[in-house]
Amino acid sequence: MADLSVELASLALRNPILSASGTFGHGLEMEHFSPPHTMGGLVSKTVTLRPRPGNTAPRIHETEAGFLNSIGLENRGIGAYLRDVLPRVADADTRIFTNIGGEEAGEFAELASMLDERDEVDALEVNLSCPNVGGGRLPFSTDPALAERVMRGVREATDKPVFAKLSPNVTRIGEIARGAEAGGADGVTAVNTLLGMAVDWRHRKPRIASVQAGYSGTGIKPVALRCAWECARAVDVPVIGCGGVGSAEDVLEFVVAGCSAVQVGTAAFSDPALPGTLAEHLDDLLEAEGVASVRELVGSLDREGRAPA
């Protein structure tokens, strides 16, 4: 057996496989397909201060190589999450990450301080792709100073490990990662969805009511991998890779590119049992390669492009 355990800042995970926010319910909805003990952690759907009804339909569209979605952060708000969801995950045999979203920096800090009191939560993931309502609705993830401000507020509100989830829809993601790190992030997640759209030309209509939507799944893997690699080069804190992961081979590509853990999102829609099987497949791959611990491979990419000796 290879050692699959990894460390994300002060947080030890049994293996590097996490669910991706918004694709796995709050985690336990999928327990019969992917039991929590088979995964390193479960990341909740984004929780906001107030309930959000989400965007109007159609808000999901399957493309040749992934999904377009514009769910609009539909959720029942932090009150319902604290009351109904957290007691149910209390005994889950895995790490629980709560993903939070806000319309202004202060909302993220408020959410963080409410969650800080709850032992069921092991870590926070901060969804910086939310539009900054007070700043022309540009997402917090598009400006290093904004990312820093949000993370500083969150850092001051909680002692739990905090991870900044970044958007790929920027020119230099490494600079945003640095901003998040300067604000006190214990790590960064790279990445959220890519902006995309789809058109039904016969009816002259967009396939998604909001026209623009987030693109995820197999098609985004090369972009996500490049973003994760750029982040790993830019910051000293751990990077969690996310985008198009559908196999243990994919997981190891992200690990070699510099990620300490990896999230699985869209692939779990077609196979909800997949996340729960990845650790076993990882073990097989590492054993076949004679690698004793997955940690040995983190960031082992040979940047000169030479084949390893």
State which of positions 50-109 bind ligand FMN (CB under 6 A).
67, 69, 71, 73, 99
User: Smallest distance, Å, CB 195 to ligand FMN?
Assistant: 12
Catalytic annotation present for 130? yes
Residue numbers 231-260 binding ligand FMN by CB under 6 A: 242-245
Does 39 participate in binding ligand FMN (rule CB under 6 A)? no
Q: Interface with ligand FMN includes 141 (CB under 6 A)?
A: no
For residue 141, give every residue at least 6 positions away whose Cβ sits within 8 Å of its Cβ, in sequence order, or none. Answer: 128, 129, 147, 165, 166, 167, 169, 170, 176, 192
Site for ligand FMN contains 23 (CB under 6 A)? yes
Q: Does 167 bind ligand FMN (CB under 6 A)?
A: no
- The encoded tokens of residue 51 equal 């309930």
3-state secondary structure of 282: helix
CA atoms within 13 A on the CB side of 273: 5
**136 three-state secondary structure:** coil
| Smallest distance from ligand FMN to CB 238, Å | 17
The strand pair at 95-100 and 41-43 is best described as parallel
* Least distance CB 107 / ligand FMN (angstroms): 15
* Size of site (CB under 6 A) for ligand FMN: 26
First-to-last alpha carbon distance for the chain, in angstroms, is: 24
**Spatial CA neighbour of 23 closest among 43, 37, 41, 38:** 43
* Near ligand FMN by CB under 6 A: residue from 4, 16, 21, 278: 21
* 192 and 165 Cβ atoms separated by less than 8 Å: yes
Q: Which amino acid is at 138?
A: L
Does residue 178 bind ligand FMN (CB under 6 A)?
no
| Closer Cβ to ligand FMN, 158 or 192, answer by number | 192
| H/E run at residue 41 | strand 41-43
Q: Residue number with the shortest CB distance to ligand FMN?
A: 22
Catalytic site residue from 130, 227, 231, 259 = 130
In angstroms, what is the minimal distance from the CB of 223 to ligand FMN? 10
For 89, phi then psi, to 5°, come to: -95, 0
Q: Which residues are catalytic?
A: 130
Q: What residue ranges bind ligand FMN (CB under 6 A)?
A: 20-23, 45-46, 67, 69, 71, 73, 99, 127, 165, 192-193, 216-217, 220, 242-245, 264-267
